[in-house]
Amino acid sequence: MKTALLICDHVSPVFVEKHGTYPVMYQQFFKELVLEPFFVCDDHFPEVNDFDLFIITGSRYSVYDAIPWITRLKILIREIAANGRKCIGVCFGHQIIAEALDGKVKKASVGYLIGVHTFRMKQSLYDSEKSNYNVLMLCQDQVSKLPSNAKLIAGNDQCPVGMYVIGNQFFAIQGHPEFTKDYDRDVFLSRREKMGDQKIEEALQSLEKDPDTEWLYQLMMKFVRTIEAF
């Protein structure tokens, strides 16, 4: 399966040596796929018909920012939908899929969500018997309105739209299964002044829980391999 990784940001240079770049992180997570990276944040875009699967990364930007590459990415998402391709969205990717397909995104009233968070499954996906999962988070925007044809899969009180699917084409998750706990911690500690001591301390305590990285990976790969709509 030809897979394009649509990279929406750069890892801060201070973290690259220890944690690697986004292409490295995503390739380590999606270990059965060969990812071809496109830095869409630098206006480097693929042709929709050249790939079967698109993966959209996280970003420091907001999907409602009036930036040309963000507008162009929304157009590409609509082309993906129209051409029957598959797409996975992670954090910013989860949000921009919603915005591109008649949903809405806004800054969350709860502020930043960082560290390990637990989400409840609203309905089973691909016959999974798991009722909740843990995932690393680093965000302050959230989907406030789902696209009309989306199905909500998971959420919690602080983040009601934690995971959704659209048919067999789009899988979106508000979280970072590709992150390690070390990377998440290093990033949020570097933003203590912006996030506040209380958020930081709660996030540090949350890291005692392990994210369900492998389970989330297997769930995404079931999506990749599934022909029928959920």
Beta partners for 133? 119
CB 114 within 8 A of CB 188: yes
CB 53 within 8 A of CB 220: no
Six-digit token pair at 89?
């969205």
The values of phi and psi at residue 40, to 5°, are -65, -25
CA end-to-end span of the chain: 20
Render the burial of 15-32: b for 16+ CB within 10 Å, e for the rest.
eeeebbebbebbbebbee
Q: Find the helix or strand (DSSP H, E) in which 153 lies.
A: strand 151-155
Angle between helices 68-82 and 92-100 (to 10 degrees): 70
By annotation, the residues acting in catalysis are 91, 176, 178
**Cα gap 164→172, rounded to integer Å:** 5
Q: Find the helix or strand (DSSP H, E) in which 120 lies.
A: strand 113-121
